[in-house]
Structure 1
Amino acid sequence: MADAGSPDRPPLTADLTGDELLRWYWLKDELIGLARRLGVRTSGSKETLTLRLAAALDGEPFAEPDRARPTTAAQLSGRLTADTVIPKGQRCSQAVRAWFVEQVGESFGFDGELRAFFANTDGTQTLRDALDHYVAGRNRGSTEIGEQFEYNRFTRAWRTEHPDGSREDLLAAWYDYRRRPVDERGRI
């Protein structure tokens, strides 16, 4: 059901312009379907796929983002301690996870902030530094949710405004939000 001031979302076809594609919310599965119909590569993040499709719809070239190169650096293994130095290029491996579980319990999970910490180590930080970073993040409360997680951002904002709201009300608000073009709904 559309509001008088809110146009209905157009069908996702090759007749759209890139700007019109970017104006609306689409599920990644919908975008993959259009990409297949257009013969456009379907891999990558939803954001990359959307930009690739917008370029294809406008007949423009698309510069693929640089792919992360796998690290060949030595990775931590064996018995780890708080004083273990984190080598540059260390992944969030099972060995590192096991050490964190020993320190904080089974509820441990790598979050975006801790993954970023490991991605940015320069070979001088220790696991103690990583643990301090993780604990500090837990004490700060809510962390920012990346733009690519629009549903999660919407849900958090809606729950803040409607703490006693039902799941059904949340979903109805979400469907209303996502059916509107970007310029009419504002960003969460």
Structure 2
Amino acid sequence: MTLDPISRPPLSVELSEEEFLRWYWLKAELEAFARTIGVRASGSKQLLTARVAAALAGRLFEEPPPARRTQAKQLAAPLLHSTVIPVGQRSSQVVRAWMREHIGPEFHFDAAMREFFAESDGTKTMQDALDHFAATRHVGNKSIDSQFEYNRFTRAWHERHPDGSREQLLEEWRVYRNTPVDQRPIAGS
């Protein structure tokens, strides 16, 4: 990958919102900058980026409403195949232990399993959870959410360069992330 990189500007109040959004910023950079300009520095990288962009544009930022946590009763041992999963069940240690007992050490709460429990409507059982795990094992590459840009880049890079080294990957990642969004090639090419 040979791009003619433009130097990434430093984070400053002189940046326009548009210029700020053209660049990749580490969350730590955004947190530090937010504090220096008096912007709340907590939350996800996406939320922090939106706050900083609004501040640079001179707009008020309307905070999203806090996520409502359900106080639903959580499962406790002993669990059975017929145990109904309640609405609001978390990916708990009790559930993990039971799943590992029935599946083995390869069980983990990946996105498909976290989603299964998060979307439980009170009608699914632990047997349904076992079945879901089995059904989602060999589905191929699952999509990676946009906030995990490094992971997306890494997957695409490895698909294009199966014999590439870690050093090559990291060098291309540095070039990629230091290139404005509107001038980047396809991730990992």
TM-score range, shorter chain: over 0.9
Q: CA separation in 2, counterparts of 1:140 and 1:3?
A: 35
Task: Tell me which stretches of 4 or more aligned residues in structure 1 moved more than 2 Å.
Answer: none
- C-alpha distance in structure 1 between counterparts of 2:186 and 2:33, whole Å: 25
The percentage of counterpart residues that share the same residue type is 56
Amino acid at match of 1:55: A
Return the TM-score normalized by structure 1: 0.94
Partner of 1:160: helix, strand, or coil? helix
Q: Distance in 2 between matches of 1:82 and 1:53?
A: 48
TM-score, with structure 2 as normaliser: 0.93
Residue 80 (structure 1) aligns with: 79
Separation in 2, partners of 1:41, 1:64: 10
- The answer to whether structure 1 residue 143 and structure 2 residue 122 are counterparts is no
**Which deviations, in whole Å up to 9, do the C-alpha atoms of 1:2-39 show, x marking residues without a partner?**
954x4211111111111111110000011011001001
1:32-73 C-alpha deviation (Å, 9 max, x unpaired): 110010011111000100011000111101121222222111
- Which deviates more, 50-59 or 12-21? 12-21
Aligned-pair CA distance for 1:171: 0.5
- Counterparts of 1:68 and 1:187, CA distance in 2: 34
Structure 1 position 54 matched with structure 2 position 39: no
- What is the alpha-carbon distance in structure 1 between the residues aligned to residue 121 and residue 86 of structure 2? 7
Q: Indicate conservation of the 8 Å contact 1:14/1:34, yes or no.
A: no
Unaligned runs of 5+ in 1: none
Q: How far off is 1:134 after superposition?
A: 1.6
Structure 2: 5+ residue stretches without partners? none
What is the aligned partner in structure 1 of residue 117 from structure 2? 118
Say which SS state the counterpart of residue 97 (structure 1) adopts. Answer: helix
Counterpart-to-counterpart distance in 2, 1:22 and 1:129: 43
Find out whether 1:30 has 2:29 as its counterpart. Answer: yes
Match of 2:88 in 1: 89
Render the CA deviation track for 1:114-143: whole Å, top value 9, x for unaligned: 111111111001111122112222121321
Q: What does 1:1-188 correspond to in 2, within 5 Å?
A: 3-4=3-4, 6-186=5-185, 188=187
